[in-house]
A and B are shown apart, each in its own frame.
Chain A
Amino acid sequence: EMQVVESGGGLVQPGGSLRLSCGASGFNLRSYSMNWVRQAPGKGLEWISYISSSGSAIFYADSVKGRSTLSRDNAKNSLFLQMDSLSAEDTAIYYCARASAEWLPPPPFDIWGQGTLVIVSS
């Protein structure tokens, strides 16, 4: 079964940092472009970042641009999202999602993880 698994969420103080990870099983992560999508409690879905399969192309939503860094380690079949200067508005479930093909704009997300919850609070 193809799946992705996120980790790294938790409680962080305002202004703090967090590093989220995404791993894959059942498929080769290095062959796919990947995305992060977040969902604030009781709210809708917000795409926040994209990385191509090679890592050569990376895009961010304006809401996280300048304080987030997306990277991947294809040798370890893993993806990482470093988020800094966190505020209460960043409180959300963060989903790692596979793009169904390798082109831009990123095509629909066909595999999603269960998400990792980030709570920003003092």
Chain B
Amino acid sequence: DIVLTQSPDSLAVSLGERAAINCKSSQSVLYSSTNKNHLAWYQQKPGQPPKLLMHWASTRESGVPDRFSGSGSGTDFTLTISSLQAEDVAVYYCQQYSNTPPTFGQGTKVEIK
């Protein structure tokens, strides 16, 4: 199974400041047949199910604010929140869909400093 390791486990950022979450894969999730990175990001707020934020590592879902951006390729990826808002407090997960079983990172908790 592909192991995804997120860092840090938690971070506290001031409102309006930048937050960055890293996701490292144990093997490349760049899928040869699509030439795309099969990596997604989810946001989970307390007491809620996860919400899909991004797929193909950097494609935002409809309605996701543009302060969220994804980058990276192969084995190293980053989710960046350019200007943290109060409503962004959540746990963020990366997920690979390059291999079965699909696997998730352990999660990164984002809080307000």
B105 CB–A CB distance under 8 Å: yes
Q: Closest Cβ of chain A: how far from B24's Cβ, in Å? A: 15
B80 CB–A CB distance under 8 Å: no
B40 CB–A CB distance under 8 Å: yes
Q: How far is the CA of A37 from the CA of B52 in the complex (A)?
A: 14
Q: Mark B50-69, 1 if CB is under 8 A from A, else 0.
A: 11100100000100000000
**Chain B residues near A104 (CB, 8 Å)?**
100
Instruction: Determine which of B49, B93, B98 lies in contact with A115 in the assembled complex, contact meaning CB atoms within 8 Å.
Output: B49
Say whether B97 contacts A107, CB under 8 Å: yes
Query: How many A-B contacts are there with CB distance less than 8 Å?
Result: 56
Q: Mark A44-75, 1 if CB is under 8 A from B, else 0.
A: 11110010000000010100000000000000
Instruction: Determine which of A100, A105, A112 lies in contact with B100 in the assembled complex, contact meaning CB atoms within 8 Å.
Output: A105
Say which size band chain A's interface belongs to. Answer: 20 to 34
Q: How many residues of B contact A (CB 8 A)?
A: 24
A110 CB–B CB distance under 8 Å: yes
A26 CB–B CB distance under 8 Å: no
Q: How far is the CA of A23 from the CA of B88 in the complex (A)?
A: 29
B37 CB–A CB distance under 8 Å: no
Instruction: Tell me whether A100 and B102 are in contact in the complex, defined as CB-CB below 8 angstroms, given that A95-B49, A112-B50, A113-B49 are known contacts.
Output: no
Q: Closest Cβ of chain B: how far from A84's Cβ, in Å? A: 20
Instruction: Tell me whether A47 and B101 are in contact in the complex, defined as CB-CB below 8 angstroms, given that A100-B55, A108-B40, A108-B95 are known contacts.
Output: yes
Q: How far is the CA of A95 from the CA of B52 in the complex (A)?
A: 14
Q: How far is the CA of A59 from the CA of B100 in the complex (A)?
A: 9
Say whether B49 contacts A114, CB under 8 Å: yes
**Chain B residues near A106 (CB, 8 Å)?**
97, 100, 102
User: Which chain B residues have a beta carbon within 8 Å of chain A's beta carbons?
Assistant: 38, 40, 42, 44, 48-52, 55, 61, 93, 95, 97-107
